Amino acid sequence: MVSIRVENLKKYFRKVKAVDDISFEVKNGEFMALLGPSGCGKTTTLLTLAGIYKPTSGKIFFGDYLVNDVQPRDRNIGMVFQSYALYPHMSVYDNISFPLKAKGSKKREFHDRVVNIVEKLGIGHLLDRKPSEISGGQQQRVALARALIKEPQIFLLDEPLSNLDARLRVMMRAEIKKLQNDLRITTVYVTHDQVEALTMADRIAVFSNGKIMQIGDPEEIYNRPQNIFVAQFIGNPPMNFVEAEIKEVEGITFAVSKNLKIRIDDTLKPYLKNLNSPNVIVGIRPEDIKIYKNKELNRDLTEGILYVIEPLGRDEIYNVKVGESLLKVITEEKLKIGVGERVYCEFDAKKVHIFDRESEISIRR
Ligand SMILES: Nc1ncnc2c1ncn2[C@@H]1O[C@H](COP(=O)(O)OP(=O)(O)OP(=O)(O)O)[C@@H](O)[C@H]1O
Ligand SMILES: [Mg+2]
């Protein structure tokens, strides 16, 4: 086992700053997710860790070793590429056991391990086939098995579940997490799927445009996003945002806009000093808004019109038009309200996020 330390890593492709000065550490045995939208530099980061790309500048350490000049094959990593990169002329069995054979192991030594892993990944019936004779999702699991079988010191996984159907993806998520937990192999897992990152990772690095926007455990990333990018990228349905102004009315502090007025909770007040101006963006998650059919007295309510209802089985998403903006509210409670009717929304004051409108940075930092 080994830790990874990345210091001021840059990887440019001529003018394209694919990775633009990032630093992070993955502890021994930790599961780190690199999360972000398409083109933000996740694969480039991973291929640089693997040694397939040379950094433009910066340093990569495995443990205390500077590995910048170490060849990929000498880095003792198990890698699943975004394109599975299976050997086309070999059977599934030979593909999976290849890393062990290459190390000189005999079939009787590894056969049970191969069987064990393919059972877990649900590909045990495909061992005799060639990669061209199995589906994309099956190829992806073969690639995963090949990386796992090596029991390397580091796993680098690039969207290893992207081609699986929803049910299989949920199952594999748990299997990979369990395997990683049992083996405690230091893992870097690239995904654009925030649910994967939140459910599997010990910590998440959120990427945008070649930069890291925040690093934290899933709880921090979800509950204390440091900027609007992270706030809007994490959560489904996404966080609601409304422009507002911080104002004091008769000794009470509010965030006010034309159509709403939110009392600032005492827990947030100390952070208001971080603002450069009273102009803010208020963020509130759909599950942190309560919706009422009737106007409840003595509550700070925001009035709106029910625009559309999206039923999700257990929950429902109420889309409420408030002035020009559309708020999404998610609730388990089924309200008997029709589209076009008036509704009242209550924001959970303790769960409100406030961002500086100019810098887009959270006041809680
Ligand atoms: N070999 C290359 N030559 C030139 N530009 C590249 C090369 N590889 C990647 N890029 C560019 O670098 C940026 C980051 O690409 P990268 O593949 O790391 O993104 P990603 O986060 O993995 O995206 P995705 O989720 O779509 O896989 C993109 O703008 C991409 O077009
Ligand atoms: Mg990629």
Which domain CATH number covers 210? 3.40.50.300
Atom of ligand 1 nearest to the CA of 47: 18
Task: Establish if 169 belongs to a structural domain.
Answer: yes
The whole-angstrom separation of Cα 170 and Cα 196 is: 9
Residues 184 and 275 in one domain: no
Task: Establish if 116 belongs to a structural domain.
Answer: yes
pLDDT at 275: 93
Q: Residue 165, class by beta-carbon neighbours within 10 Å (0-12 exposed, 13-18 middle, 19+ buried)?
A: exposed
Task: Establish if 126 belongs to a structural domain.
Answer: yes
- The residue type at 115: V
pLDDT at 81: 85
Q: Could you say which ligand is closest to the alpha carbon of residue 56?
A: 1
The whole-angstrom separation of Cα 281 and Cα 255 is: 9
Distance of CA 363 from the midpoint of ligand 1 (Å): 32
Residues 118 and 13 in one domain: yes
Q: Could you say which ligand is closest to the alpha carbon of residue 35?
A: 1
Q: Which of 12, 13, 17 has most ligand 1 atoms within 8 Å of its beta carbon, as the pocket-test mutant?
A: 13
Residues 170 and 34 in one domain: yes
Provide the 3-class DSSP secondary structure of residue 298: coil
Whole-prediction pTM value? 0.92
Residues 191 and 334 in one domain: no
Task: Establish if 16 belongs to a structural domain.
Answer: yes
pLDDT at 334: 82
Residue 149, domain extent: 4-233
Tokens 């000189």 locate to 104
pLDDT at 210: 98
pLDDT at 74: 92
Residues 205 and 67 in one domain: yes
pLDDT at 217: 98
What's the number of CA atoms in the CB half-sphere (13 Å) around residue 352?
Answer: 27
Task: Establish if 166 belongs to a structural domain.
Answer: yes
Residues 126 and 228 in one domain: yes
pLDDT at 85: 85
Task: Establish if 363 belongs to a structural domain.
Answer: no
pLDDT at 114: 94
Atom of ligand 1 nearest to the CA of 190: 22
Closest Cα to atom 30 of ligand 1? 39
Residues 216 and 257 in one domain: no
Residues 228 and 244 in one domain: no
Block means of pLDDT (10 residues each) for the chain, length 365 residues? 95 96 98 97 97 98 96 92 88 94 90 91 94 90 90 92 87 87 92 96 98 98 98 96 93 90 91 94 96 83 93 93 93 88 93 96 93
Name the nearest CA neighbour of 118 among 190, 110, 201, 77: 110
Domains in the chain, number:
2
Residues 314 and 212 in one domain: no
Q: Which two tokens stand for residue 148?
A: 């796992």
Which domain CATH number covers 332? 2.40.50.140
Q: Could you say which ligand is closest to the alpha carbon of residue 193?
A: 1
Q: Which two tokens stand for residue 220?
A: 């921090």
Give the count of beta carbons closer than 10 Å to the beta carbon of residue 62: 20
Task: Establish if 146 belongs to a structural domain.
Answer: yes
Residues 136 and 201 in one domain: yes
What would the DSSP string read from start to end of 10-28? Answer: EEEETTEEEEEEEEEEE-T
- Four-residue CA torsion sign, 95, 96, 101, 103: positive
DSSP single-letter state for residue 165: -
pLDDT at 329: 96
Residues 77 and 176 in one domain: yes
Task: Establish if 139 belongs to a structural domain.
Answer: yes
Residues 59 and 160 in one domain: yes
DSSP single-letter state for residue 314: S
